[in-house]
């Protein structure tokens, strides 16, 4: 489709095909490395959303009865298609998000792992059976799908985050309406097309592009039974409240401020490599990025020097040119991150490396900001309190392990954290004491594998169940327990007492 000025218009995917919507509203999609608008994206109306939910409701009625073999045959075929086309997907991610190609390929790989997990749904969904819970009475448990579920995803992982949810939801027998980020909508449409090519019946996976209006319509629609949301904390909190009020099951994953604690006995080269990788990979636009480095003295001087030395070798530029770090996602976001750098300086933090001075290997109009390192950051500065979601790493110096844990636990977020040490006892104590959902020991970005579940604590997750793994299966299914007796001549007659074992 193209708009009045010839621009490509990205629409929706409903009932097995690409469609345009009713809404007149459109958003701009940019190539962040050139700063040029590359497409317009339709912003769905409530009526567009209702059309997608209705298609999903029709499809869900048949899909819940599809055998496990039929469901997994589709997932295996989809896995093959994504695997064969992973480079194409990475290119689409880089063109709209800006992250470097190798990083985009890594995101596709993590998504593939969830598809592979979902291929094992016959085991993951298996119930239990107890023979003779009472004389000649058996009891067994089942897990059944919910119906239509909504997935609302953020800009920073346009493939991996939708794939945290969609394969598991579909494997469990649900139909899905996905609302991707309006900043990078193209990859989601490819995933939906490839699912159809893999044999998924029309309507089981639908994609509506849009913004708050589409999200609100999904949260309020009575046909949507559950919502999986990933995004910033204020929106996650809002989504959790609004969808819960509408009687839906909700998991809403929010923002983060992830701390990496470096103890005095740590291997400082390993810690410096990890801080650079986790601080500046994907330009810091990762919910598991390290943004606060807690240096337990006396390591700070040596550690900061090693990090700065490594940062001097990083190349910022167009993600298609083999650079280490790409641009930020939009001009407005780059401006916002830049203003944090200014506020950090104004508050008295020491800018060891100032990313505003970067010379990017890319178009002058790209949304650039180089990696930035602040030392002597204190907990009341906004560069410490706020999720910046950019390539800004803040070093906070503390005097002891206890001070470090206290700082991490006082933070409102609890997504990921890491400790660097060679002392197993200290690491064990940290993983026990820290109030964070995902913990790394000498691993800076401890993203759980697909067969575990991904999720943070406190303001990083509203709801109970985490994404994928056993929690994902529990989230997308309802438990049912059946107690059965096949009649026998000795069935016991009338008895008004409460059933107990006999």
CB of residue 208 vs ligand NAD: minimum separation in angstroms? 11
The Cα–Cα gap between 44 and 388 comes to 29
For ligand NAD, the closer of residues 263 and 287 by Cβ is 287
Contact 364, 336 (CB under 8 A): no
Q: What single DSSP character describes residue 93?
A: H
For ligand NAD, the closer of residues 446 and 456 by Cβ is 456
Tokens of 9: 């218009």
For ligand NAD, the closer of residues 318 and 387 by Cβ is 387
Burial 47-57 (b: 16+ CB within 10 A, else e): ebbbbbbbbbb
The Cα–Cα gap between 304 and 402 comes to 21
For ligand NAD, the closer of residues 60 and 230 by Cβ is 230
CB of residue 230 vs ligand NAD: minimum separation in angstroms? 5
For ligand NAD, the closer of residues 156 and 411 by Cβ is 156
The Cα–Cα gap between 374 and 345 comes to 9
Alpha-carbon distances, residue 463 vs 93, 116, 340 (angstroms) = 29, 25, 30
Nearest to 162 by CA among 465, 467, 469: 467
CB of residue 155 vs ligand NAD: minimum separation in angstroms? 4
For ligand NAD, the closer of residues 233 and 421 by Cβ is 233
482: β partners: 140
CB of residue 108 vs ligand NAD: minimum separation in angstroms? 16
The Cα–Cα gap between 412 and 417 comes to 13
Tokens of 23: 């809404």
Tokens of 113: 């792992």
287 is catalytic: yes
- Give residues in contact with ligand NAD (CB under 6 A): 152-157, 161, 179, 181-182, 211-212, 215, 230-232, 235, 238, 253-256, 287, 387, 389, 415, 456, 460
Task: For residue 196, say if its preceding peptide bond is cis, omega within 30 degrees of 0.
Answer: no
CB of residue 378 vs ligand NAD: minimum separation in angstroms? 23
User: What string of DSSP letters covers 25-40?
Assistant: -EEEEEETTTTEEEEE
| Residue 422 φ/ψ, nearest 5 degrees | -105, 10
CB of residue 3 vs ligand NAD: minimum separation in angstroms? 20
Point out the residue whose Cβ comes nearest to ligand NAD.
231
* Catalytic center residues: 287
């Amino acid at each position: 489709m193209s708009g009045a000025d010839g621009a490509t218009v990205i629409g929706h995917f409903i009932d097995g095909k690409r469609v345009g919507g009713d809404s007149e509203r459109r958003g701009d999609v940019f190539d962040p490395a050139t700063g040029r608008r590359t497409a317009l994206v339709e912003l769905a109306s409530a009526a567009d959303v209702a059309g997608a939910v209705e298609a999903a409701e029709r499809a869900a009625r048949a899909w819940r009865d599809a055998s496990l073999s039929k469901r997994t045959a589709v997932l295996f075929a989809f896995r093959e298609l994504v695997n064969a086309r992973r480079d194409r997907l990475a290119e689409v991610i880089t063109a709209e998000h800006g992250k470097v190609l190798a990083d985009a390929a890594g995101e596709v790989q993590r998504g593939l792992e969830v598809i592979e997990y979902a291929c094992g749904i016959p085991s993951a969904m298996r119930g239990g059976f107890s023979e003779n819970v009472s004389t000649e009475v058996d009891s067994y448990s089942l897990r059944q799908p919910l119906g239509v579920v909504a997935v609302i995803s953020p800009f920073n992982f346009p493939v991996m985050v939708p794939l945290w949810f969609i394969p598991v939801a579909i494997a469990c027998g649900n139909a899905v309406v996905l609302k991707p980020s309006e900043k990078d909508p193209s990859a989601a449409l490819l995933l939906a097309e490839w699912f159809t090519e893999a044999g998924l019946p029309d309507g089981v996976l639908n994609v509506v592009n849009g913004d708050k209006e589409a999200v609100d319509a999904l949260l309020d629609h009575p046909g949507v039974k559950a919502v999986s949301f990933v995004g910033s904390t204020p929106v996650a909190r809002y989504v959790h409240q609004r969808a819960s009020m509408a009687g839906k099951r909700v998991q809403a994953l929010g923002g983060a401020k992830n701390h990496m604690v470096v103890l005095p006995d740590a291997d400082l080269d390993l810690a410096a490599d990890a801080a650079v990788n986790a601080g500046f990979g994907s330009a810091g636009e990762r919910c598991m990025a390290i943004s606060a480095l807690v240096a337990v003295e006396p390591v700070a001087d040596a550690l900061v020097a090693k990090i700065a030395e490594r940062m001097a070798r990083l190349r910022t530029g167009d993600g298609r040119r083999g650079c280490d770090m790409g641009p930020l996602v939009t001009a407005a976001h780059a401006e916002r991150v830049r203003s944090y750098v200014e506020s950090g300086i104004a508050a008295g933090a020491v800018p060891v490396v100032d990313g505003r001075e970067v010379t990017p290997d890319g178009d002058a109009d790209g949304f650039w900001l180089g990696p930035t390192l602040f030392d002597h950051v204190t907990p009341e500065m906004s560069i410490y309190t706020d999720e910046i979601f950019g390539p800004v790493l803040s070093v906070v110096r503390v005097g002891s392990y206890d001070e470090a844990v206290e700082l991490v636990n006082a933070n409102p977020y609890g997504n990921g954290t890491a400790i660097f040490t060679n002392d197993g006892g200290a690491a064990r104590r940290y993983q026990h004491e820290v109030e964070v959902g995902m913990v790394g020991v000498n691993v800076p970005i401890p993203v759980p594998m697909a067969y575990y579940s991904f999720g943070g604590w406190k303001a990083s997750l509203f709801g109970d169940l985490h994404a994928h793994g056993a929690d994902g299966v529990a989230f997308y299914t309802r438990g049912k327990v059946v107690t059965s007796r096949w009649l026998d001549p000795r069935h016991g007659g009338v008895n008004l007492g409460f059933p107990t074992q006999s």
